[in-house]
């Protein structure tokens, strides 16, 4: 299974490359795409409704400010959605954090920390999810743990 990384803006790429780097460490194929819930809603919808048939098992969605992207992604898929709030609005990215963590019942988004730590943890959590059905990923997760949670 692969992981789809969706971010709202090209400027989010330096942060979300942390997710990509960690997914590569775990041997997890991934694809990173810029698609804004506000500027490209049709693209986001298409990515989400076709993700599972394209072999994706988890979606990481990152956004700042109003941070609608992770919630919109959750509305269009049954896959686990991991939300990464990004800095850019209120100090510390609290606006994005609140937007992602305060999802209505029935539309879950696993919300991580703001910024690079959240991007890394989203990849690690995705690896743990996929490890449930993949012994190779499970072995890498255990190795990561034994190495003091460092790649």
Query: Tens digits of per-residue pLDDT, 62-78?
Result: 999 989 999 999 999 99
Number of domains in the chain: 1
Q: Is 133 exposed, middle or buried, given 0-12, 13-18 or 19+ CB atoms closer than 10 A?
A: exposed
Asked if residue 42 belongs to a known ligand binding site, the reply is no
| DSSP characters over 4-55 | EEEES-GGGHHHHHHHHHHHHHTT--EEEEE--TTT-HHHHHHHHHHHGGGT
Mean pLDDT of 74-90: 94
Mean pLDDT of 89-110: 92
Asked if residue 128 belongs to a known ligand binding site, the reply is no
Distance (Å, whole) CA 6 – CA 23: 14
Distance (Å, whole) CA 86 – CA 1: 26
Q: Which domain holds residue 9?
A: 2-147
Query: Tens digits of per-residue pLDDT, 28-71?
Result: 999 999 999 999 999 999 999 999 999 999 999 999 998 999 99
The separation between CA 133 and the C-alpha centre of its own chain, rounded to angstroms, equals 19
Query: For position 138, which CATH number holds?
Result: 3.40.50.1970
Distance (Å, whole) CA 124 – CA 86: 18
Asked if residue 12 belongs to a known ligand binding site, the reply is yes
């Amino acid at each position: 299974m692969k992981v789809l990384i969706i971010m709202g803006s090209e400027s989010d790429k330096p942060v979300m490359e942390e997710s990509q780097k960690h997914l590569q460490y775990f041997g997890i194929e991934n694809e990173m795409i810029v698609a804004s819930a506000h500027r490209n809603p049709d693209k986001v919808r298409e990515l989400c409704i076709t993700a599972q048939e394209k072999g994706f098992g988890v979606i990481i969605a990152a956004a700042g400010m109003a941070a609608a992207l992770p919630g919109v992604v959750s509305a269009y898929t049954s896959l686990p959605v991991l939300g990464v709030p990004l800095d850019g609005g209120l100090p510390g990215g609290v606006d994005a954090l609140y937007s992602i963590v305060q999802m209505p019942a029935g539309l879950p988004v696993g919300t991580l920390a703001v910024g690079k730590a959240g991007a890394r943890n989203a990849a690690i959590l995705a690896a743990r999810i996929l490890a449930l059905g993949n012994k190779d990923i499970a072995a890498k997760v255990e190795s990561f743990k034994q190495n003091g949670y460092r790649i």
